[in-house]
Structure 1
Amino acid sequence: MTDEAVRLAAVRKDYGRVTALAGVDLVFPRGGFTAVMGPSGSGKSTFLHCAAGLDRPTAGSVHLDGQDLAKLSETQLTKLRRDRIGFVFQAFNLLPALTVEQNVVLPLRLAGRRVDRKLVTRMLTHVGLADRRRHHPGELSGGQQQRVAIARALVARPAVLFADEPTGALDTRTAAEVLALLRDSVRGGLTVVMVTHDPVAAAHADRVVFLADGRVAGELIHPTPEAVAARMTHLGAWGGAVAVGGA
C-alpha cells in the first residue's frame, strides 16, 4: 500500500479522431481533497471516467488503491468500483420509492453484503439525517438528497470518492454545507476527487488541478476562489471575462 490513492501515468484517451486526454500525469494522495477544473471540452469528464475505472484509456496506466486497472477483468473492475470507489453526481440518483435508509444501504444489498446497522446510523448521523431515515427523497430538500447520496457513497467505506459537479444543482448555502461534509470526510481519511466549474466549491479543496485541451495546465495549492477564478480566466474558460484575483 502506498500513500497514493490514484495515479494516472501518460493517460491518453481517443474517441475516433478526437483526443480527449493527451498524456495526463497526475497523483492523488490518500486523505487528500482535490478539485479538477477546466474550460468546456478540456477533458474533465473523460479524466473522471478513466480515473474511476468507468472507461479504459487508449494508452497509459491508471492505478487506484494500489491496483493497475488495465490488469483487471471487467468483473474485477466492477467489484473494485463497488467496494473501493464512491460516486456522487449532480443528479442525486436516489430511488423515489425507497426511504433514506433503504437508499443508503442499497449498494450493500446489491453486493450481497451484510448491512451493519450501527455503521448506517453513524453515516446518517454524519450527514445530519439520522432523524429523516424513514422519509422518502420527495420529502427532502435538494441539499438533503445530496447528503443521502454522499452517505450511500460512504457506507461501503471506499478508498476514493469521485464527485462530479456535486453542488451544481444546489443553492449557495446548501452547497457550502455539502462541501463542508466532504471536507469532514477527508479529515476522516477519505480521498476526494471533485470535478467542478465553481471556484468557490474548488476553494474547499486542498488543491486545484487545471485541465486544458486534454492536458494538465497547472495547479493551485491552498486555493482561494479569487485565485481559482483568475486561473480559469487565463485558461479562457469564461471568454473575455475579467479576472477577479491573482493567479
Structure 2
Amino acid sequence: MTTMKTLEAPVRLDSVHKTYGSRENAVAALRGVTIDFPAGSFTAVMGPSGSGKSTLLHCAAGLDEPTSGTVTLVGTPLAGKSETELTELRRDHVAFVFQSFNLMPALNVEQNVMLPALLAGRTPDAAWVAQVIDRVGLSQRVKHRPGELSGGQQQRVAIARALAGKPAVTFADEPTGALDTETALEVLSLLRELANSGQTIVMVTHDPVAASFADNVLFLVDGSIVTQMAGPTVEQVAARLAQLGAQAKQARRQR
C-alpha cells in the first residue's frame, strides 16, 4: 500500500507494533502500521470494535509506547523520551478532544480555555482566547461553569481550549459520541475549519457522518490498515464498514 510521504508530516508512524500481555496472553493491538498524517489534513480512523483505533491514536500522541517501530511527532522521534519530555512536547504542540470533555467544574468557560497556557507557565493571549470562544459560539457564556452548559456547549469549550494553544496536531477520540446530531455537525464543522487553517486532525470515530468530514479515512482490522478512502461520503463509509464487519465475523467463525 502506498502512503502519503511528506517531510512536513507532523505525525508519522513507521512499522508500529503494539502488543499487550505476553506469551499465551499476548494480544496484538497494532501490527506494523505505517502511515503519515500530513500538515493540514483531517483523517478519520475507523474499524470494527477492537481493531486498534484508540491504540493507534494513543501511540501517535505518545500516550502509549509501541512495542516496536517508530513514532515521530512534530519532527521529534518519541522513542527514548522521558514522560516529562513527552508531556512538554504535547503541551506545546498537541491538543486533545475526547468524548468526555475533561473540563474543570469550578472554572468558567474563559478560565477552562486559558488553563493549558497557565499550566505551561505562559501568559494566555486574552484577545486570542476571546476570539476562539467566539468562534465556537460561546461569547455569551464566558462566565458560565460547565455545570451550567449543555453537553454540546461543553464539547465546544473543549475545542476552544484545544484551539487556544494553536497546536500543530489535534487528536480527537469519538468527539461527537455524546452529542445530539445538530451539535455533532457543528463540532465536526469546527474540526474541518481547523484542518483548513493548517492543523492536522486525527479523529477516531465509528460514525460514517463524522468520517465524511475528513479528507481521508483509514480502516483498521485486527491492528492493520486494510484500506484507505479519500474524499469519503457517508454512503461509501457505511458500505465499507458493513463489508469489513461481515469479513471480520466470517474470519472469527473460521478460527
TM-score, shorter chain, exceeding 0.5 = yes
Identify the match of residue 180 of structure 1 among 175, 180, 189: 189
Partner of 1:143: 152
Matched, 1:7 2:12: yes
CA distance in structure 1 between the partners assigned to 2:27 and 2:178 by the alignment: 30
The SS at the match of 1:236 is: helix
CA distance in structure 2 between the partners assigned to 1:175 and 1:211 by the alignment: 23
The SS at the match of 2:198 is: coil
Identify the match of residue 31 of structure 2 among 4, 18, 22: 22
Shift in alpha-carbon separation, 1:156–1:238, aligned structure 2, 3 A: farther
Deviation at 1:51, TM superposition (A): 0.4
Partner of 2:207: 198
Matched, 1:107 2:116: yes
The answer to whether the Cα contact below 8 Å between 1:35 and 1:196 also exists between their aligned partners in 2 is yes
Deviation at 1:73, TM superposition (A): 2.2
CA distance in structure 2 between the partners assigned to 1:28 and 1:186 by the alignment: 12
Matched, 1:155 2:164: yes
**Once superposed, which parts of structure 1, at least 4 consecutive aligned residues long, lie more than 4 Å away?**
237-240
CA distance in structure 1 between the partners assigned to 2:158 and 2:194 by the alignment: 14
2:63 alignment partner AA: L
Partner of 1:31: 40
Gap runs ≥5 in structure 2: 1-5, 250-255
Matched, 1:80 2:89: yes
Matched, 1:169 2:169: no
CA distance in structure 1 between the partners assigned to 2:246 and 2:217 by the alignment: 15
The SS at the match of 1:25 is: strand
The SS at the match of 1:4 is: coil
Deviation at 1:238, TM superposition (A): 9.9
The answer to whether the Cα contact below 8 Å between 1:164 and 1:196 also exists between their aligned partners in 2 is yes
Q: Percent of aligned pairs with the same residue?
A: 63
CA distance in structure 1 between the partners assigned to 2:84 and 2:156 by the alignment: 29
CA distance in structure 1 between the partners assigned to 2:228 and 2:8 by the alignment: 20
CA distance in structure 2 between the partners assigned to 1:191 and 1:33 by the alignment: 6
Partner of 2:3: none
The answer to whether the Cα contact below 8 Å between 1:163 and 1:195 also exists between their aligned partners in 2 is yes
Gap runs ≥5 in structure 1: 241-247
Question: Normalising by structure 2, what TM-score?
Answer: 0.91
Deviation at 1:237, TM superposition (A): 6.7
Deviation at 1:189, TM superposition (A): 1.0
CA distance in structure 1 between the partners assigned to 2:193 and 2:177 by the alignment: 20
Deviation at 1:72, TM superposition (A): 2.2
The answer to whether the Cα contact below 8 Å between 1:232 and 1:238 also exists between their aligned partners in 2 is no
The SS at the match of 1:184 is: helix
Partner of 1:244: none
The answer to whether the Cα contact below 8 Å between 1:209 and 1:218 also exists between their aligned partners in 2 is yes
Deviation at 1:15, TM superposition (A): 0.5
Aligned length in residues: 240
